[in-house]
Structure 1
Amino acid sequence: MLKDFVHLIQCKIKRLREAEDFKTNLRNQVIKSALFLLGVVAFVKCVTTFVPQAVSVSSTINGRELPIYCVETDEKKVALSFDAAWGNEDTQRILEILAKHNIHVTFFATGGWVESYPDDVKAILDAGHDLGNHSENHKNMSQLSNDEKEQEIMKVHDKVKNLTGYEMFLFRPPYGDYDNDVIKTATKCGYYPIQWDVDSLDWKDYGVDSIISTVCTNKHLGNGSIILCHNGAKYTADALDTLITNIKGQGYEIVPVSELIYRDGYHMNAEGRQIKDK
């Protein structure tokens, strides 16, 4: 009988130990599960926090997305810009004239131009000028699918980044051709879409005097204007020195587009004028 009693006691002790082991294991499993869930929550929060945000670069006016044509400012500042889509014969001369006047401007380059003239691309950036995106193939952007629009922007973006390390953020659609989807796509890609309100018409090859007169007597020329020229137009380099002198003579400071526009806290009017929020 004593032997049976001892065996009974041993069995109860064993069951108690097994129960304690079960409780311990259960407690450990609960702790591990809780820590795992906390890790998942932290990871999701981290991923959500670091997703890149598209740049807010335009406003909808009467259902239409607008790029920046000009900027409202009390300062007598204008931006001079050059589209670079073909040829580089005058690029070095243009850079020398800009250096002579100690001014910086914005060059909008196509992917083909970047590929053909990498040394000029580097020279532009080394001289302190803006380098903007003018699409990969200089196509009418509004006629492309949204995927094609994005490819046109990002192909040249990647070329410039790989060549120089520079991240472009200004985009000018070829021919000034855009629709709502072009502006939205550029915005999605992190770009400020840029147009112009003063066209030099240098691409028409009317001559030096025509370029100077067209810009300097333009009814739209004023504080915050963005002036369009082309580095490859026939008479642009010949006109540039006098053009800059005349613009300065009217009291304007010439700056690159990046120094003229507002990066945030703005709205647009129906004319594409960028206005600082109050």
Structure 2
Amino acid sequence: MNRHRVTVTALIAIVALLAGCGGSPKTTPSDSTSGSPATQPTTSQSPDRPDPSSTADGLPAVPAFDPPPQAQPPTLTAKPGEVPVVHEIKTTQPVAFITIDDGAKRDPKAAALFKKAGVPVTLFLLGNDVDPAPDYFRGLQAAGAKIEDHTQTHREMPGLSADQQKKEICSTADKYQKLFGNRPTLFRPPYGSYNTTTKKMVAACKLSYIVLWRETTDNGKVFYQRPDKKVHAGDIVLMHFRPAFVRDFAAVLWAIKNAGLTPAVLQDYLPAKAA
């Protein structure tokens, strides 16, 4: 019986990981129409696990990258009153994009790791995680990170009314403008879950894009949505502020390097407004 309970517990933990913010993004039918959510690709684990051993500075070894090319952003469109949804940037340039969500586990090595790696990073921060420690995130901003919107309380958007969604999105964007000096232009919905109302409320809050992802990482392992288990040009990679933050960041860097790509500034590939 105990062995059975352990097995069930382990399965629940795996499901929770994949269903959380780092699982496959979920689309929800429009508020006013019926239909099924879009079929999601299978998430597969990378067989590669880079050596996390520390160097003399107490940080893991990180790869050197070529400078990113001059950005050539694609033309993106959306219905009137809505914003585009992007999982990756449609480009042939050899670039990928590192994004980090939430902010609950504030690793003291993060700023030094960002500076050592010397690569652009975008943070989709949760307001509830920022409130207790804004100076920590100002330190990451000073290390080169850009800060974007991930709601105040991490509630799943399709379960909220239009007014509730708008409050979650707008209030957080307004707060970050005051705290960090720049108002977000990008929004990542909790759990990657959104509906038509979300696209309208993001536009109403004067943000320009909903940003999802193609790869995730946890505990030093990279997980892929594509069967070739490789980061592709233009892919957006998702990680979180978790206990294994340093190992996760190193794993993402090596996955991008092994694919022959260079981390680039996500915002440079997303025009200020969709066409």
Q: TM-score, normalised by structure 1?
A: 0.64
Rounded to whole Å, the distance in 2 between the matches of 1:251 and 1:242 is 14
Quote the residue 1:72 is aligned against: 90
* C-alpha separation in 2, matches of 1:261 and 1:219: 25
Q: Where do 1:206-245 residues align within 5 Å?
A: 207-208=219-220, 211-212=221-222, 214=224, 219=229, 221-231=231-241, 233-245=242-254
Offset at residue 106 of structure 1 (A): 0.5
1:14-63 Cα shifts (integer Å, max 9, x gaps): xxxxxxxxxxxxxxxxxxxxxxxxxxxxxxxxxxxxxxxxxx97525xxx
**Could you tell me how far apart the structure 2 residues matched to 1:116 and 1:217 are?**
40
Determine which of 105, 109, 115 is the counterpart of 1:87: 105
Instruction: Give the alignment partner of residue 178 of structure 2, picking from 138, 162, 165.
Output: 162
User: CA 1:57 to 1:148, structure 2 compared with 1: closer, same or farther past 3 Å?
Assistant: farther
CA separation in 1, counterparts of 2:226 and 2:139?
28
Give the whole-Å Cα distance in 2 for the aligned partners of 1:193 and 1:94.
25
Shift of 1:214: 5.0
Query: CA separation of 1:101/1:216 partners in 2, compared to 1, >3 Å: closer, same or farther?
Result: farther
Q: Percent identity?
A: 23
Equivalent residue, structure 1, for 2:145: 129
Structure 2 residue 203 is the aligned partner of structure 1 residue 187: yes
Name 1:259's counterpart in structure 2: 268
Task: Verify the 8 A CA contact 2:188 2:210 in the aligned structure 1.
Answer: yes
The Cα shift of 1:243 comes to 3.2
Q: Which structure 1 residue ranges, 5 or more long, are not aligned?
A: 1-55, 267-278
Provide the C-alpha distance between the structure 1 equivalents of 2:175 and 2:83, rounded to a whole number of angstroms. 28
Distance in 2, matches of 1:213 and 1:168, equals 27
Give the whole-Å Cα distance in 2 for the aligned partners of 1:169 and 1:241. Answer: 27
Give the structure with the larger helix fraction: 1
Match of 2:5 in 1: none
Runs in 1 of length 4+ with deviation above 3 angstroms?
Answer: 212-220, 262-266
Matches of 1:142 and 1:76 in 2, distance apart? Answer: 35
- CA RMSD across the alignment: 2.6
1:95-124, Cα deviation, whole Å (9 max, x unpaired): 322211210110001111121110122112
Structure 1 position 170, deviation (Å)? 0.9
Amino acid at match of 1:174: P
Q: Report the counterpart of residue 198 of structure 1 in structure 2.
A: 215
- Count of equivalent residues: 198
Q: Residues 67 and 195 of structure 1 are in contact (CA less than 8 Å); yes or no, is this contact kept in structure 2?
A: yes
Q: In the alignment, is the contact (CA less than 8 A) between 2:224 and 2:230 conserved in 1?
A: no
Q: Which amino acid aligns with 1:77?
A: V
Checking the alignment, whether the CA contact within 8 Å between 1:65 and 1:180 is kept in structure 2 is: no
CA deviation vs aligned residue, 1:212-250 (integer Å, no higher than 9, x gap) = 46599864621110001001x232322322431342232
Once residues 129 and 95 of structure 2 are traced to their aligned partners in structure 1, the CA distance between those partners, rounded to angstroms, is: 29
Quote the offset at 1:66 in angstroms: 5.3
Instruction: Compute the displacement of 1:177 (Å).
Output: 1.0
Decide whether the 8 Å contact of 2:105 with 2:243 is kept in 1.
Answer: no
Bigger Rg, structure 1 or 2: 1
